């Protein structure tokens, strides 16, 4: 863990690198899934596709603050919105993580890649067959984070490790364990998708809302999970990679990218296990953020800052054993935290104490408030903002979205998509 008793380490805790990814579905003026080809330059590094042809994905550059990263996301979203507004048949970005009306699987066309990238299309057809196209239409936001060089260099001076990259690998491996253990809190505070279109459950069903008791469907049992609970080895980077590769060798997944896990450790550049082992860990990716339809860009900067604060806090706490039982418990905690009513379902802590999500969230934020007691006003305000979501249900995004969009999710969502586009024009 970080040597926070050292002044040089303490003063550089907020030094960081942040990159964001955002997925959104393109829809037509009547709220149907767009069936047009990807209307952006296929070589644009900032705008690409995820699973389906009508699912845009933004990849920002890397920035040193949450505000810069969200501002970049906003700028690129604006470029997309202006392009869609100028299409012969105008299109919009659906502002929710849960998809709109889906007539049938043909509404979810697999992304088409040519030439050297044709294997990406073949892989997506495999995913469609294995998980179903409907599930692959969920959208979300990924948060990529690395600690600043100054912070790592100052902390490295206080460690017994001689090799900097080995030290760095260990920092992120230990952090990953803790984020798997406590990252449920991020799912709880960013849940913003309580309503489903009824067509997700009954093919072709129109003008029908579905509520299944979830605040975030994609983070719950119906979302992005494998058909097994992975148990990973965090001893060192080689063991970590081998524990993922084992599932490929067993035939449970066809590639490491199919491991649907809320946290990933990544190398710089091309993401594969060979590069991770050879070059070492560069950053951590958190994959549990819902699109927030209550803000124009789909992401509140305070949630980004809170995620940063959580990573700093966890990296500064002692390590604990993380065996198969603990890893299985942690994944169930994630699914529980995706529930709509945080006063009913419980989180099981490492000491086997059980608390409602609301109480567990207050405990964690309370610990963070003590840790950051001397931090800036913005940090204090962010922690208070997140704490408020556990103090009263009406402060949660899921509650606000349900209240505003139930009784016409598809129709009201399409109207919101039009409104949000206008704000960029």
CA triple 244-246-248, angle to 5 deg: 85
Would you list the domain boundaries of the chain? 7-422
19-39 confidence digits (pLDDT tens): 999 999 999 999 999 999 999
Tokens of 38: 């990807």
Contact 25, 133 (CB under 8 A): no
What pLDDT score does 152 carry? 97
How far apart (Å, rounded) are the C-alpha atoms in residues 296 and 423?
8
What pLDDT score does 368 carry? 98
How far apart (Å, rounded) are the C-alpha atoms in residues 380 and 396?
18
Q: Per-residue pLDDT for 208 more than 90?
A: yes
Contact 196, 260 (CB under 8 A): no
What pLDDT score does 160 carry? 85
Q: Per-residue pLDDT for 114 more than 90?
A: no
Q: Per-residue pLDDT for 161 more than 90?
A: no
| Residue among 62, 82, 67 at smallest CA distance from 21 | 62
What pLDDT score does 353 carry? 95
336-362 confidence digits (pLDDT tens): 999 999 999 999 999 999 999 999 999
Contact 400, 392 (CB under 8 A): no
At residue 176 the predicted structure's pLDDT band, cuts being 50, 70 and 90, is: very high
- Cα–Cα distance list, 277 to 168, 273, 282, 313 (Å): 13, 6, 11, 27
Residue entry with tokens 């997925």 = 23
Mean pLDDT score of the chain: 96
How far apart (Å, rounded) are the C-alpha atoms in residues 234 and 243?
9
What pLDDT score does 269 carry? 87
At residue 320 the predicted structure's pLDDT band, cuts being 50, 70 and 90, is: confident
| Residue among 321, 292, 280 at smallest CA distance from 389 | 292
The kind and range of the H/E element at 92 are: strand 91-94
- Cα–Cα distance list, 303 to 274, 286, 299, 319, 423 (Å): 33, 12, 7, 25, 22
**Percent of the chain whose predicted confidence (pLDDT) is above 90:** 95
304 or 321: whose pLDDT is higher? 304
Average pLDDT over residues 173-189: 97
**Percent of the chain whose predicted confidence (pLDDT) is above 70:** 100
404 or 114: whose pLDDT is higher? 404
43-77 confidence digits (pLDDT tens): 899 999 999 999 999 999 999 999 999 999 999 99
The kind and range of the H/E element at 364 are: helix 357-371
Which CATH code fits 7-422? 3.30.590.20
Q: Residue 188: CA atoms inside 13 Å, Cβ hemisphere, count?
A: 30
What pLDDT score does 1 carry? 87
CA triple 137-285-146, angle to 5 deg: 150
């Amino acid at each position: 863990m970080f040597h926070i008793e050292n002044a040089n380490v303490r003063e550089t805790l907020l030094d960081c690198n942040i990159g964001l990814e955002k997925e959104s579905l393109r829809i037509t003026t009547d709220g149907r899934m767009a069936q047009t080809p990807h209307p952006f330059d296929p070589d644009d590094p900032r705008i690409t596709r995820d699973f389906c042809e009508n699912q845009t994905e933004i990849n920002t550059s890397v920035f040193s603050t949450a505000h810069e990263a969200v501002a970049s996301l906003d700028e690129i979203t604006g470029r997309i919105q202006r392009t869609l507004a100028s299409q012969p048949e105008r299109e919009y970005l659906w502002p929710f993580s849960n998809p709109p009306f889906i007539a049938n699987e043909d509404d979810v066309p697999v992304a088409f890649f040519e030439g050297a990238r044709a294997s990406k299309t073949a892989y997506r057809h495999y995913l469609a067959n294995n998980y179903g196209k409907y599930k692959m239409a969920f959208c979300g936001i990924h948060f990529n984070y690395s600690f600043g060089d100054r912070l790592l260099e100052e902390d490295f001076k206080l460690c017994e490790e001689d090799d900097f990259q080995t030290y760095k690998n260990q920092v992120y491996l230990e952090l990953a364990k803790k984020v798997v253990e406590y990252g449920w809190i991020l799912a709880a505070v960013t849940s913003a998708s309580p309503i489903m279109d009824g067509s997700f459950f009954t093919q072709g069903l129109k003008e029908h809302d579905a509520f299944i008791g979830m605040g975030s469907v994609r983070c719950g049992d119906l979302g992005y999970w494998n058909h097994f609970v992975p148990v990973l080895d965090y001893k060192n980077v080689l063991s970590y990679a081998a524990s993922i590769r084992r599932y490929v060798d067993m035939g449970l997944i066809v590639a490491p990218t199919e491991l649907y896990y809320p946290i990933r450790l990544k190398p710089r550049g091309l993401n594969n296990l060979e590069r991770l082992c050879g070059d070492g860990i560069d950053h951590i990716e958190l994959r549990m953020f819902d699109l927030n339809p209550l803000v124009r860009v789909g992401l509140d900067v305070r949630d980004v800052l809170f995620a940063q604060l959580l990573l700093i806090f966890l990296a500064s706490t002692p390590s604990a054993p993380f065996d198969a039982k603990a890893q299985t418990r942690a994944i169930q905690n994630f699914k529980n935290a995706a529930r709509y009513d945080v006063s009913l379902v419980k989180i099981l802590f490492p000491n086997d104490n059980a608390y409602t999500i609301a109480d567990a969230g207050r405990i964690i934020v309370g610990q963070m408030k003590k840790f950051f007691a001397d931090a800036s006003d913005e940090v204090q305000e962010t922690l208070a903002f997140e704490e408020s979501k556990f103090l009263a249900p009406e402060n949660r995004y899921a509650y606000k979205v349900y209240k505003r969009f139930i009784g016409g999710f598809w129709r009201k969502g399409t109207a919101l998509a039009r409104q949000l586009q206008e704000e960029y024009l």
